[in-house]
Amino acid sequence: MQKMKKIFIIFLLLFPILLSNCSDPVSPDEVDARLTGEWYFIYNNNSPNPSPETTFTGIQINSDKTINSLGIETNTGKVAVIKYSSKKIIKANERELIWEYLLGGIGLSTISYNYRFENEKLILSNESGSLTYTKTKLGAQLIEPVTCNLSFEKDSIFYENEKISAYPSAYAGKISTSDFFLLNAEMDHAFLRIGINNFNGIGSYVIQYDKFEFGEFHSDVGIILVPDSLSKGEIIITQYDEVNRMCSGTFYFNAAFPDDPDSVATVFKEGIFTVPIYK
């Protein structure tokens, strides 16, 4: 009898452990708690044109079944949420992570990963390959701050470069094999590129009509500006310091469309920038 009593007590002690091992620790409608939080990885860029050396990619997985894209606040170097980036999680447990997102021109689409944890890293994999993420947190400083500011007005509408992005969203540089200068900027659903031939540092330069590019994207519609040869503009470089990797200046551009009798010139004015230089 005493022996049976001991066996019964041992069974009572082990029962909760056995029960937990047999049951699913995460409900199918819940997010695996190990996934929640901020995760990132950084990879090297390999572009023939001037561009940042690295790109930051991050995600924030939330218990309310949403996932946000993370970027770097360029002027502070800190991790932050990219605005308007929230997406709906379909599944985030049983080693599957699935979310839906809006794909321009198509509509809602989904992306699926298998996930696992190794050495405190989150590894997402699918048929395209695998990504290894490191845990971080909002406000963590992961890169050195970079001064990165560009703004202008287009037909009285104010534009400025993204302040939180995967890399500095406005930058300049000179193609190493030539004297061609390139100024790039990415805004909220828009981009700007200005090229200069025969670049020679500080000074004023005429912007050729075919070296000025501007585009806007709204939902599944994209509009690319195609100016005519009668367009005119100027960019003034007031600082070009390759040692400290900083470029400053101003610009304007009047885009003409004489082939369209109903159109008027699109005016880009009060352009000003202080951006990093990349090779």
8 Å CB contact between 233 and 253: yes
Question: Quick one: tokens of 213?
Answer: 């590019």
pLDDT number for residue 259: 58
pLDDT in tens, 173-198: 998 778 899 999 999 889 999 999 99
Contact 76, 145 (CB under 8 A): yes
Map 2-54 to HEC letters. HHHHHHHHHHHHHHHHHHHHHCCCCCCCCECCCCCEEEEEEEECCCCCCCCCE
Q: Say what the pLDDT of residue 142 is.
A: 94
The CATH class given to the 37-136 domain equals: mainly beta
Amino acid at 206: V
Q: Is the sign of the CA dihedral 100, 101, 106, 111 positive or negative?
A: negative
Find all residues with CB under 8 Å of 1, minimum gap 6, and list them: none
pTM of this structure: 0.81
CA distance 259 to 65: 51
What distance in Å separates the CA atoms of residue 276 and residue 50, rounded to the nearest whole number?
11
Q: What is the DSSP letter of 82?
A: P
Rg (CA), the chain: 26
- pLDDT tens digits along 72-124: 999 999 999 998 888 999 999 999 999 998 765 567 889 999 999 999 999 99
What integer is the mean pLDDT of 125-129?
Answer: 95
